[in-house]
Each structure stands twice: as C-alpha cells, then as structure tokens.
Chains A and B, each alone.
Chain A
Amino acid sequence: MSYEIGSLSLDHPVLNGSGTFDAIAARRAFGDALLEDFPFSAFVSKTITPEPRAGNPPPRLYETPSGMINSIGLPNKGLDGFLSNDLPQLAELPVPLIVSVMATDRAGFERLVDGVGGRDEVAALELNVSCPNVKSGLIVGEQPSETHALVTALRERTEKPLIVKLTPNTADPAAVAVAAEEAGADGVSLINTLRATGLAPGSAEPWLGAGSGGLSGPAVRAIALEQVRRVAAAVSIAVIGMGGIETAADAAEFMASGAGLVAVGTANFRDPGAGIRVRNGLKNLLDDTSTLHLNLRSN
C-alpha cells in the first residue's frame, strides 16, 4: 500500500490537520521525545500569509456538544518570518514538510508559492482557499471557477505537489475538487471547519472575540465523511480526509470512503499522541484484512 500526493510518497496515511499541531511548540513541551516517534507521515504547517498577522482578539475557543469552534484568525509570522524562524526548526522534523499558505489576492498567493516553493526543506504546499478574494469578494474555495483560476496560476510557479484544502461551506465541494484537479492540483484535503457561533452564557452576545468561527471535532465527522465520499468519487488525485477523526476506526471509515490519506485535527488537542494512536491502530486494521473488510483505495 502506498501513500502518495503527486510525486510525494509518504510512509503511512496519517497527517495532521493544518493549525492543529505546532511541532515547534510541541517540542518545547515534550522535548525530543516528539521526534523519536513523530505521529505524522508528513507535517502540515499552520497556514501562513504574506504578511505577519496577530490573530483574532480573545476569546478564541468555544466548546460545543462533541466539538469546538475556533476563531484563531491565522496568527503567523508572515512569509519572511516563517522562512527565517520556523522553517529551520521544521526542517529538523523526521518527516516531509507541507506548508499551508493563504492570501487574499493572486499576487499574495504567488509570493507565498514562490517563497515557500523555492525551498528544499518544503515537500509540498497546501493552498488554504477558505479566504475571500478581495477583488471578487467571493470566498475562493466556495467557487469552482475561482479555485480553478487560482490553482492554474499557481501551478505554473512550482513543481512541488499542490494540495487544495477544500471548504465545507459550499453546496458542492466535489465541483470545487474537480476544478482543482483540472487546474493541476495533486491532491485535495477536506474538510476545513464549518462556520459556526455560540453565545456567552446568559448573554445575547457572541462569545468569540471575532463573533464567529469554525466548528470541528466529532460533531462534524458525519458531514466530513459524506463530503469525502462525494469528492473521492469525483476526482482521481489524492484525497486527504479529515473532520472529527479521533480513533483508527474513524480514520478507517474515511479511507473506506475513498480517502487515500487522513489527517488528525481537533483530536490532537485532547491527546497530543492522538496521531500515534490513529496511525498504529490503522496499521493493525490495514494489516488484518480479516477484521475489517475495507475497500481501501490507494492513490
């Protein structure tokens, strides 16, 4: 069984969701034990933007039944800060690095792809398209046409595998996935978070500093599974499935539904070793074809 995203070949099918594991911070907390048994077959960075961002005002977290809303607001050091501060540290990880990038215009995306794509330490790029295009006012990832145009433009600028991170906040994610594939993407990852909000207890005001945010965790798993199933049926590039995966059995459901790879997101918060549990459990399930008759699809 092989796990591939375009030309990038991985050792096992479990990645992290962008923004749900910070390998640099985790190393501060857990030391080099982290590197000795690194959970993921590739590390996906938190999304970076061309310029530095402080992120949203607190509170940034809201807990929901079997899930959580985050409105973090993409705090990051910007492209230059990332390249000078973070990249050398991420290069020490024992696995390939996938850098997630986002901008609000074409030029910004181009700068990111040029800057990140030119570095040997980087194995692949993930395009976070859950962002407005300031020109059209549309969220790129909600529109097949916008996605197609963006990926086409970026495809020319790098040979590295390009993954498009799909948004679930749209009527037909499969149409966006097909647009990404046609424009030359090597993979799609889904789902990102679902727009959501919650009020401060006993108040009429939203709890989150930014008013609303994105829902993740087990609450969204059934939605994610359906979107993965539809997307995987529509494209033949790599599909990285995520959304509420907590156990190897959950991950196996995504793989049985057509995802060649999976990512662990919110589950990392409840257990920093969630990725190890999922990876090892999945290995047992995949080895023991008698227990689980999964019609696994490899890319």
Chain B
Amino acid sequence: MNLITARAIVEALIFASSEPLTIKTIAEITELDVRTAIQIVAELVDEYRHQQRGIQLLEVAGGYQFGTLPECAPYLEKMQKVPRSSGLSAAAIETLAIIAYKQPITKAEIEAMRGVSVESSIANLVDKNLITEVGRKDTPGRPILYGTTKQFLKHFGLNNLTELPQVMDWEKQGKLNFEEIAEVKNDV
C-alpha cells in the first residue's frame, strides 16, 4: 500500500463512516502507523480546504468527518431529501447548557439552577442521545449524574468539551475539569 492509495483508502473510510472516524480507528483498519495516519488526514484536510470544494473534512467529537461548506447551506435547504435534526425546545437547550458546562451534575442541581422541574427536558435530551448517565453522586440517595455525549459534540460541532465557548467567570465553578470528564467518557 503506497501513500497515494493509503490516502484514497483513508478518504473512503471517512466518507463511508456514519460517525466521525478517529485516527486510532483509521490506523487500525489501514494498518498504518498513527503518525502516517495523522499525516494523511492532515493532507486531506488541507487538500479539501484549498480546492474550493463544496465538501470539507471536519474534526468533530474527536474524529474526522466530511461535511458541506456552510456557504452551501441555502442551496441544501432547498433540497428536500436532506434529513435535518429536529431542533431543541428553549427549555431543553437551557438544561443542556447547564449540563454541558457543569457536568457531571444531578437533576436536583439543575433544577436548583433553573428554578423549574427539568424532568421532561432530561428525558428528552437522553432520548436524543445528547446527554447520558455518567455515574452516581456520592450523596444520600445516590442521585444520577448526567454528562454530555459524543452526539452532543457532533450536534454542536465541537471536537471536545474544551471547545465549549467560554462563559465569563463560570467554568471555574465546575466540579470536574474537562480532561477528567473526557477520561470518564472514554471509559464508558
């Protein structure tokens, strides 16, 4: 397998995968070493970027995925056969924001912050696979701790949680730093 066909294979793999493909998986499947895989992917990203294509190679949720250019969106909207994800309600996205920035967090903690019941928001978000149980809090009743999923990262176009836009003076209050969360996630 020379470098040109390796590139073609990596391109085909990323193209065919319905999920962002990690360097690790790419290396595993192609039997390339990780460094070569990284190099090939970087070359592909560059190529797509500089060829004025309608497609770009994106880094999302810790992996690589093809997507269209935002500039093409008005035309794509006109196309009927394009499945779009349904939007979230205002209440659900507020609950999701709290979970994203404060994870891991319990339902009661979110309710205290929002001042309303978040039962249905949480059910909705779990259903959409944007949040998930990440553990139990070591307090009486051992309430469920929620965190965001890989799908969350994908939905919001983030590579990892550190890419969440900064909210002034807020992150500091988080109970776990993001690297730790990332570790927990990977173990799940």
Q: Tell me whether A and B are bound partners.
A: no
Instruction: List B residues at the A interface (Cβ < 8 Å).
Output: none
Instruction: List A residues at the B interface (Cβ < 8 Å).
Output: none
